[in-house]
Amino acid sequence: MLWVFLAVLFAGIAVGVPVAFSLGLAAVVMMFLTGANPAVMVEQAVAGVNSFPLLAIPFFMLVGEVMSSGGIARRLVNFASALVGFIAGGVGQVNVAASMFFGGISGSAVADTSAIGGMMIPPMKKQGYTAAHATSITVSSAVIGIIIPPSIPMILYGIVTETSISRLFIGGVIPGLVVGVALMVTTYFTAKRQHAGQTQPFSTRQLWTSFKEAWLGLLLPVIIVGGILGGIFTATEAAVAALFYALIISLVIYREISVRDLWGMLVRTARLTGMVLFLLALATVVAWFLTTRGVPQSLVATVSDFSTNAYVILFVLSGLILLVGVVMDLTPAMVILAPLMVPIVETVGVDPVYFGVLMSFVLGIGLITPPVGTVLYVGCGIGGVSMEQLVRSMVPFYVALLAVLVLLIVFPALILWLPYASGAAGS
């Protein structure tokens, strides 16, 4: 059954059928092979999207839209400039720091690339960065957006594996900071080598001024993470609170958007949400067919025969996830692979929360890897650079991200310490 599913899925993708419809085609084929009642497909598809935590996805997407248009993102960039602009690489370092701030609010790598790239790439070019180099920093730092909470991939993982989304969010805090530091170090050396980026003198006065302008926006990640840690609300409720707060800032305090502007934001959010939910519905049908045929159990037995060492299993699965992420977008890869892999890692004693954060990170690398990397195409459009030029410039950043991956596998406490030490809610 697994081979039938993979054959139909990749055959559809190879001839240009969208992934969602390829999943649906695979489900129909499996229905005929098993003689299942067609009504089961409808029931499972509805069940796959009939989930309260899924509401967090459109709310966090809408938060990103409001931030980009309402002046919050621009103020965060100005604060990041005052904070790290004195480090070699100048605006390149600002780019990474701004992605860390923005990623702590939007939960989307594509939103991060669009918002930060549009503001940062033009000034980076003026300060000696080539278009490819400036875009490579923007694209690679966008991975932070799906690790530092909130994270849309972690929401999907939590739903399809029944893992605590709150703990997943908190587990992404330290890895997100580690990724940010690794990319800043890489930017430091690449900028030095290419003599790019003008540093600005560190000014306490400028830092304070930019902080006063940005502090309302900086409170957003505090509200999200602090509210979850304090048990005030769940991850889904945090999304609603973040949206309400972002709207108050943008509409009432900054007044950079009007109520009329909200319609366009709602339409864009609805389109993206519809794509995610359609994928999830069909992936749930496929997962049901595979589970009823004992595919996860067979995979567990096969991998157990191969090795029972947790580190070996994690390296093998990470390589497989990265390979799939290269040829498939993050959302379908997450909803297809997570239910199959979690039983495998649980047999060797790996915590599902740990694996969820790790899997989100690895699939995030896939987002910036050709040929299917969605964020790469967004970066090429914003930076005005060819795919070949961008990928060549990305090499040092790929190395940095893979080094972080090894670090997270060797030292799992980087992920697990905070969610359990803080007593994050299990919902």
CB 102 within 8 A of CB 145: yes
Helix 109-126 crosses helix 56-69 at what angle (to 10 degrees)? Answer: 20
Q: What share of the chain is helix, strand, coil (3-state, %, to 5)?
A: 80, 0, 20
Using one digit for the tens of pLDDT, what is the confidence trace for 9-47? 778 877 877 777 888 888 888 888 878 788 888 888 888
At residue 256, the pLDDT reads: 85
pTM of the complete model: 0.82
Lowest mean pLDDT among 209-213, 253-257, 325-329, 400-404: 325-329
- Of the CA atoms within 13 Å of residue 61, those in its CB half-sphere come to 22
More confident residue, 266 or 114: 266
Per-domain boundaries in the chain: 52-281+293-421
Tell me the average pLDDT across 182-202.
84
At residue 422, the pLDDT reads: 66
Using one digit for the tens of pLDDT, what is the confidence trace for 88-121? 778 888 888 888 887 766 667 777 777 777 778 8
At residue 171, the pLDDT reads: 92
CB 20 within 8 A of CB 279: yes
- DSSP string of 15-40? TT--HHHHHHHHHHHHHHHHT--HHH
Confidence of residue 423 (pLDDT cuts 50, 70, 90): low
Q: Which residues contact 368 (CB under 8 A, 6 or more apart)?
A: 109, 139, 140, 142, 143, 375, 376, 379, 394
Using one digit for the tens of pLDDT, what is the confidence trace for 125-136? 888 888 889 899
At residue 426, the pLDDT reads: 54
Using one digit for the tens of pLDDT, what is the confidence trace for 37-74? 888 888 888 887 887 778 888 888 888 788 777 778 78
Instruction: Give just the sign of the alpha carbon dihedral 242, 247, 248, 249.
Output: positive
**Per DSSP, which regions of 198-334 are E strands?**
none
Q: Residue 427: is its pLDDT beyond 60?
A: no
Residue 7, number of CB atoms within 10 A of its CB: 12
In terms of phi and psi (left: phi > 0; alpha: psi -120 to 50; beta: otherwise), the region of 37 is beta
Tell me the average pLDDT across 66-84.
82
Q: Which residues contact 269 (CB under 8 A, 6 or more apart)?
A: 58, 61, 62, 65
Cα-based torsion angle of the residue sequence 319, 324, 329, 333 in order, rounded to the nearest 10 degrees: -90
Using one digit for the tens of pLDDT, what is the confidence trace for 392-419? 999 999 999 999 999 999 999 999 998 8
Q: Where are the alpha helices (DSSP H) in 293-412?
A: 295-306, 310-327, 330-347, 352-367, 374-383, 387-410
User: Of the segments 117-131, 257-271, 305-319, 400-414, which one has the largest average pLDDT value?
Assistant: 400-414
